[in-house]
Amino acid sequence: MTDQHRPAATITPYEDGPLLLRGDFEIVTPDGERIEPGRPTVALCRCGRSRVKPFCDGTHKLIDFHAPAGRQNSRLDPETD
């Protein structure tokens, strides 16, 4: 695959951690207001507990957050739903 066919931006889930966003991207609020990323590669919170959302601040390590690097395959549990 040549660079020409690569997507402009990629999102990579890291195991038990955030989503890393690389490439040519823009983060905007629903109103279209730009959220300054401050760096070429950013980490987006995926545990829900960061105090600097939408960015990661490392809090996932304090709350025993788990998520795979690939697609999660657990289905709805009929016992609890």
Partner 1 sequence: MRLPEARGDLSAAVIEALMSGRFEVARLPEVTDPLADEDLQLALAVCYELHYSGFDGVDDRWEWHPGLLALRGEIEYVFETALRQLTGPQPAVGAAEIPAALTALTAEQDGPSLARYIQSNATIEQFREFVVHRSLYQLKEADPHTFAIPRLTGRAKAALIEIQIDEYGSGRLARMHAELFRTTMGCLGLNTAYGAYLDRLPAVTLAVTNMLSMFALHRRLRGALVGQLAAFEMSSSLPNSRYGNGLRRLGGDEHATLFYDEHVEADAVHEQIAAHDMCGSLVAEHPELAADVLFGAAASEALGGRASAHLLDSWAAGRSSLREVSGQGRPAQTDQLAGVAS
Name 30's Cβ contacts closer than 8 Å, sequence gap at least 6: none
Q: Which of 9, 11, 35, 58 binds partner 1 (CB under 8 A)?
A: 58
Q: Which is nearer to partner 1, 28 or 41 (CB)?
A: 41
Question: What is the C-alpha to C-alpha distance for residues 34 and 38, in angstroms, rounded to an integer?
Answer: 12
Among 5, 34, 39, 71, binds partner 1 (CB under 8 A): 39
Count of chain residues binding partner 1 (CB under 8 A): 21
Instruction: Specify whether the CB–CB gap between 8 and 25 falls below 8 A.
Output: yes
Residue 66 CB, shortest distance to partner 1, in Å, is: 12
Q: Which amino acid is at 69?
A: A
Decide if 47 contacts 29 (C-beta within 8 A): no
Report the interface residues with partner 1, using CB under 8 A: 14-18, 20, 38-43, 51-52, 55-59, 61-62
